[in-house]
């Protein structure tokens, strides 16, 4: 597959973390691309993911509904920009399925536009997992970091590992 162009990492605009996890790359891919797995780990506890809808192709839908501990629901929709099986997944909430522009940010439960990138590298039975989120401006990046990007995405990854290790 020919990879799409993604801007170089800019620490003023982007957030990222990398870990080596004890889960085979193919299982990590399944966890990210199959709704039956997404609902088990995607949202850090005590939040939950109550629905996931995946149309796994460039231009396809990525849609999850998260529920707060108080019961408030937060739908999050986006479009896959790149799907490179078992290696790389790129999606954005700034674009809807079919590459249609999203409604203006603020008219949904999302406060800022972003592009998410999950990169997976096989290391025997382990996986190098890199999550990167690109933002349009420094303010959005700072807001995302203040919301707990590293803790939240890290906790969700811990849940993914635990879920996939249980089988």
DSSP designation for 99: G
- Convert the pLDDT of each residue in 120-166 to its tens digit: 999 999 999 999 999 999 999 999 999 899 999 999 999 999 999 99
Sign (positive or negative) of CA dihedral 57, 110, 46, 152: positive
The H or E element spanning position 132 is strand 126-135
- Convert the pLDDT of each residue in 80-126 to its tens digit: 999 999 999 999 998 888 888 876 655 454 578 899 999 999 999 99
Q: Which domains are seen in the chain, by residue range? A: 23-166 (3.30.530.20)
Secondary-structure percent of the chain, ordered helix, strand, coil, rounded to 5: 30, 40, 35
Verdict on whether the full-model pTM lies above 0.85:
yes
pLDDT of residue 99: 87
Peptide bond before residue 48 is cis, with ω within 30 degrees of 0: no
Going by C-alpha positions, the residue among 29, 30, 89, 39 that lies closest to residue 63 is 39
């Amino acid at each position: 597959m020919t990879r799409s162009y993604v801007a170089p990492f800019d620490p003023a605009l982007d957030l990222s973390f990398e870990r080596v996890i004890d889960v085979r790359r193919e299982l990590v891919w399944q966890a990210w691309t199959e709704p039956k797995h997404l609902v088990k780990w995607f949202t850090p506890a005590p939040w939950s993911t109550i629905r996931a809808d995946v149309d796994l192709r460039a231009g396809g839908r990525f849609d999850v509904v998260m529920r707060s501990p108080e019961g408030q629901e937060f739908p999050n929709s986006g479009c896959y920009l790149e799907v490179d099986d078992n290696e790389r997944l790129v999606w954005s909430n700034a674009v809807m399925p079919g590459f249609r522009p999203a409604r203006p940010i603020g008219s949904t439960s999302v406060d800022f536009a972003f592009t998410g990138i999950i990169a997976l590298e096989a290391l025997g039975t382990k996986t190098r997992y890199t999550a990167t989120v690109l933002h349009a401006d420094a303010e959005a990046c700072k807001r995302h970091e203040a919301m707990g990007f590293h803790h939240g995405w890290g906790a969700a990854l811990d849940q993914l590992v635990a879920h996939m290790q249980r089988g």
